[in-house]
Amino acid sequence: MLIIEVKEGESIDRALKRYKNKHRKTGVINELRSRKEYTKPSVKRRATILKAVYRKQKFGSVD
């Protein structure tokens, strides 16, 4: 459970923004989405390899 203490003179909007940011950094939503359906280890491995190839092509050849 995330606890956000509202500081003195801080608006609720700012505290809510801090809460959302902290929630995003914990990765709860991404974890839930990944657990929604099972992916085989071979498919995960293939996806990571394809992602690495894409990143290498897009960002790797900086001269």
Task: Summarize pLDDT for 3-42 with one digit per residue, the tens.
Answer: 889 989 999 999 999 999 999 999 988 899 999 999 999 9
Nearest to 2 by CA among 15, 12, 14, 30: 15
Q: What is the pLDDT of residue 1?
A: 78
Residue 39 lies in a domain: yes
Structure-model confidence comparison of residues 45 and 63, the more confident one: 45
pLDDT at 61 over 80: no
Range of the domain at 33: 12-60
Residue 6 lies in a domain: no
User: Do residues 18 and 27 touch, judged by C-beta distance below 8 A?
Assistant: no
User: Which residue carries 């801080």 as its tokens?
Assistant: 10
Q: How many domains does the chain have?
A: 1
Residue 45 lies in a domain: yes
pLDDT band at residue 60 using 50, 70 and 90 as cut-offs: confident
Q: What is the DSSP letter of 20?
A: H
Residue 43 lies in a domain: yes
Nearest to 27 by CA among 48, 2, 3, 8: 2
Q: What is the pLDDT of residue 35?
A: 93
Residue 2 lies in a domain: no
Residue 1 lies in a domain: no
